[in-house]
Amino acid sequence: MPLMSVENLEITYMALGGRIKAVDGISFSLEQGEWMTVVGESGSGKSTLAYAIMRLVPPPGKITGGKIVFDGMNLLELDKEKLRKIRGKEIAMVFQDPMTSLDPLRRVGDQAAELFVEHEGLDMEEAKKRAEEAMRSVRLPQHVLNSYPHQLSGGQRQRVMIAMAMSLRPKLLIADEPTTALDVLVQEGIMELLNSMKEEGTSILLITHDLSLAANWSDRIMVMYAGRLAELGNTEDLVERPLHPYTKGLLDSVPDLWSDKEVKPIEGNPPDMRYPPPGCRFHPRCPMAMEICSKKEPPILSIDKRIVSCWLMAKEGGKA
Amino acid sequence: MSDGPILRVRDLKKYFEISSLLGRTRAFVKAVDGVSFEIGDKEVFSLIGESGSGKTTTGRLILRLIEPTSGSINFMGKEIVGMAEEEMRRMRKDMQIIFQDPYASLNPRMRIGDAVAEPLIVSGLANEEEAKERAIEMLDRVGLIPGKEMAQRLPHNLSGGQRQRVAIARAMITRPKFIVADEAVSMLDMSIKASIVSLLESFRREVGLSMLFITHDISIAKLISDRVAIMYLGKIVEMGPMRRIIESPAHPYTKALLEAVPSVMRRKREKTIELKGEMPDPRNPPSGCRFSNRCPFANERCHREEPALVEIERGHFVSCHFPLPPASH
């Protein structure tokens, strides 16, 4: 049984003058100890999806359909008390900006220790020892514990967040663009930390706009476009033999240090989600678009170990 | 003008004074500390570095958005450090900037046609009517089609990529010889980045634009640059032809940086250089080579003596006592 399965998830933002379906019928499962990366551009719904798993979709957003089954429980049916226990202990999350989850007025060590008091029922002295261990595990110097968040670099703050997340040994870590604001060398260090968590059995759900980063670190990649799943598959299959024209377009548009391939941008822009195009949402930008693509939403097909949502594949005999 | 460099920067320094606790001793952050390079006619030169490397400060110094502590900036044969404001204003039409965040650089209440026309009017190159006409042509040129209709829009009606096209139109409307693009595509969606880079490239081809391309993203820099300089804590540590730097980095920092760039082509990472620690506090850089405390090869000499930037092969400069052996061509 997978650690988590998301079924037909739908998240709607109630906006003036209409509803925006930010996540529209997403299904996938995640195995224990697996690293899956969700790749998408702005408006793809990738971050909203991450927040939904933590039940943290900010208003006016609402989960309007589907199920998230984690370790046998439907997270969407849990009461607040149960949820609070699961957050942090079973499912941890790190954000793009660690300042959103650190209290700027309190020392890092106190905040970390509090976590252990809260989730493991330790007394303050034991909790402080655990906080020291946690910082050591991510190779942060001990003086970090006595610092206030603003005294640390962006990379150090993100390491603090990961140290705290790691130390409770969650079953799942969700990382939403954790390195977007960081330099490549710092990014690499953070990815190595996530990988070490994975090696100890934690499942990783990384959210990023960076397909190259996804290709380097994940077991599987899910590509989202305008709230929908475009393609999901093993990293190797997906980047070597993309099935969805959007995946292919992304691969062609990303420059690569080690290749002289011609870089071809995808024409047009991601849609304004207030007015998504009918049919396949990628059809206005798709070089392969057929008549049906602008009229009917493509089915979600399973082809070998791949999931893809594209009319081209339906023609080629993919099974819905 | 055609054969000499369009821009020549010599020993440029910018020290920011910081208040010390007691207010008695003066302390400085040496944000840019003795940087020299040239940019040729129609050349694209990239400055690459992490945050705190001084790359953005260098760009702003060149446009004199901030004043240097010392050094020389020669643009089209004229020294612009210390140039009178009046003359500088005339120079400005030839040197423009594109910032990272088009949100911040566009007035939210100004229609984009007016925003693009503004530099022409301000610099007295055209009257209002002509300026508006040329703005519409320029909007078409940067792919905001039809320009006549797009000119009426406000910035918030545009996507990030479209806003960056407006910023480019605004920069190019005075027909500059040179632009500084400061992280100009960093915030854009990945499917869009390459199209903005190719738009910039098209200006180089068609009107012979020279460019200083400032970025932390080496893969993007590779798309457009002829030459590149890698900066670390206010200094250039390595400089040379873009392709050569990628295939044969001589500075251990450059090599580590290249190895850390995510890549679809090289998914199994081969790491040959393991850096120690983090980027030091720029207020308090290490003595000797500034990279010495993180360098796996540093010895006593590196901690003591600062290496000079020397030419190790034609056009390839490195500031390291023990440069890595060159890869064969």
Instruction: Examine the pLDDT at A176 and tell me if it is beyond 90.
Output: yes
What string of DSSP letters covers B77-143?
TEE-TT--HHHHHHHHTTEEEE-S-HHHHS-TTS-HHHHHHHHHHHTTSS-HHHHHHHHHHHHHHTT
- Nearest by CB: A215 against B218, B222, B267: B267
In a domain, B328, yes or no: no
- For A51-78, the pLDDT digits (tens) are 999 999 988 899 999 999 999 999 999 9
Confidence at residue B3, expressed as pLDDT on a 0 to 100 scale: 64
Confidence at residue A90, expressed as pLDDT on a 0 to 100 scale: 94
Confidence at residue B35, expressed as pLDDT on a 0 to 100 scale: 98
Q: Where residue A282 sits, what CATH number does that domain have?
A: 3.40.50.300
Confidence at residue A318, expressed as pLDDT on a 0 to 100 scale: 58
Structural domains counted in chain A: 1
**Which positions in chain A touch B269 (Cβ < 8 Å)?**
216
- For A20-35, the pLDDT digits (tens) are 999 999 999 999 999 9
Q: Where residue B234 sits, what CATH number does that domain have?
A: 3.40.50.300
**Which positions in chain B touch A155 (Cβ < 8 Å)?**
278
CA distances from A82 to A94, A171, B103, B179 (A): 20, 16, 42, 57
**What letter does residue A25 receive in the DSSP assignment?**
E
Share of chain B above pLDDT 90, in %: 74
3-state secondary structure of B28: strand
**Which positions in chain A touch B150 (Cβ < 8 Å)?**
none
Structural domains counted in chain B: 1
Residues B56-63 have a mean pLDDT of 95
Confidence at residue B21, expressed as pLDDT on a 0 to 100 scale: 61
In a domain, A162, yes or no: no
In a domain, A214, yes or no: yes
Band (pLDDT 50/70/90 cuts) for residue B26 is confident
Q: CA nearest A216 in B: which residue? A: B267
- For B112-141, the pLDDT digits (tens) are 999 999 999 988 899 999 999 999 999 999
Helices (H), A138-262: 154-167, 184-199, 211-217, 235-240, 245-253
Are A255 and A243 in contact by the 8 Å Cβ rule? The answer is no
Instruction: Examine the pLDDT at A306 and tell me if it is beyond 60.
Output: yes
Could you give the CA distance from residue A231 to residue B290 in angstroms, rounded to a whole number?
46
- Nearest by CB: A269 against B159, B193, B256: B159
Instruction: Please tell me the least confidently modeled range out of A298-302, B48-52, B312-316.
Output: B48-52
> Domain span at residue A309?
4-90+170-315
Band (pLDDT 50/70/90 cuts) for residue B1 is very low
Interface of A with B (CB under 8 A): 41-42, 153-156, 183-188, 209-213, 215-216, 235-236, 239, 249-251, 253-259, 263-267, 269-270, 272
Distance from CA of A38 to the nearest CA of B (A): 14
**Which positions in chain A touch B195 (Cβ < 8 Å)?**
265, 267
In a domain, B279, yes or no: yes
Q: CA nearest A156 in B: which residue? A: B278
Residues B75-86 have a mean pLDDT of 94
**Which positions in chain A touch B275 (Cβ < 8 Å)?**
185
In a domain, B198, yes or no: yes
In a domain, A205, yes or no: yes
In a domain, B148, yes or no: no
- Nearest by CB: A253 against B190, B256, B257: B190
Verify whether the Cβ–Cβ distance B194 to A215 is below 8 Å: no
Confidence at residue A194, expressed as pLDDT on a 0 to 100 scale: 94
In a domain, A223, yes or no: yes
Count CB neighbours of B160 within 10 A.
20
Residues A144-152 have a mean pLDDT of 90
CA distances from A40 to A6, A64, A172, A254, A257 (A): 18, 22, 21, 13, 21
ipTM: 0.89
In a domain, A99, yes or no: no
Verify whether the Cβ–Cβ distance A211 to B219 is below 8 Å: no
**Which positions in chain B touch A187 (Cβ < 8 Å)?**
260, 262
In a domain, B121, yes or no: no
Confidence at residue A286, expressed as pLDDT on a 0 to 100 scale: 96
Confidence at residue A141, expressed as pLDDT on a 0 to 100 scale: 84
Verify whether the Cβ–Cβ distance B263 to A215 is below 8 Å: yes
Q: CA nearest B145 in A: which residue? A: A268
Residue type, B329: H
Instruction: Examine the pLDDT at B220 and tell me if it is beyond 90.
Output: yes
Are A216 and A35 in contact by the 8 Å Cβ rule? The answer is no
CA distances from A213 to A305, A320, B21, B194, B248 (A): 22, 30, 42, 17, 23
Band (pLDDT 50/70/90 cuts) for residue A183 is confident
In a domain, A195, yes or no: yes
Q: What is the pTM of this model?
A: 0.91
> Domain span at residue B298?
7-94+176-318
In a domain, B22, yes or no: yes
Instruction: Please tell me the least confidently modeled range out of B93-102, B229-238, B255-264, B288-297.
Output: B93-102
Please list the residues that pair with B74 across neighbouring strands: B8, B79
Confidence at residue B209, expressed as pLDDT on a 0 to 100 scale: 95
Of A113, A110, A173, A109, the residue nearest A141 (C-alpha): A109
Q: Which has more pLDDT, A118 or B292?
A: B292
